Amino acid sequence: MNKPEINLVNKPNGIGIGRIIKATQCSIKGFKAAFKEESAFRTELALGVILLPLSFWLAQSLQHWVILIVSFLFLLIVELLNSAIEALTDRVGVEYHVLSGRAKDIASAAVTLALFVLFIVWVAAGYEKVITLMH
């Protein structure tokens, strides 16, 4: 049995380094769209402007700093996915449908969980810093 040949030349995003360049361009467009259209994303970036400098003071080690930053990046990732789900759902139809509402609510719940993760990690870091300063 012969495998069907796939014509890689006609792939819409190309192959090899061209694919990487195209994917990077698409990512940049996505970041720009999220910044322009999504107020929650802008709010979370503003939070990052506060948290990034604070992370250097709070972190007890390089690994600790990485955990702080990854928890923030996790929030941004989930927010971007939430925004993509909302945009796609609205593209399908802006009239109310139970499945559209459910998709948006579940994506929103994911953002809430990401915020909880961020909160727990940063509160724990703050607690450790206070304990360290007290000794």
> Per residue in 21-47, pLDDT tens?
999 999 999 999 999 999 999 999 999
Q: What is the DSSP annotation of 100-111?
A: HHHHHHHHHHHH
Q: Biggest alpha carbon distance in the chain?
A: 72
- Answer whether CATH 1.10.287.3610 is correct for domain 38-134: yes
d(CA 82, CA 94): 16
pTM: 0.86
Catalytic pick among 38, 44, 79, 86:
79
Q: Residue 11: is its pLDDT beyond 70? A: no
Residue 37 catalytic? Answer: no
- The mean per-residue pLDDT over the stretch 65-71 comes to 98
pLDDT band at residue 114 using 50, 70 and 90 as cut-offs: very high
- The mean per-residue pLDDT over the stretch 72-83 comes to 98
Looking at residue 11, the DSSP 8-state letter turns out to be -
Q: Where are the domains of the chain?
A: 1-37, 38-134
Q: What is each CA distance from 77 to 27, 32, 45, 99, 103, in whole angstroms?
A: 12, 14, 12, 23, 17
DSSP H helical ranges for 10-38: 16-37
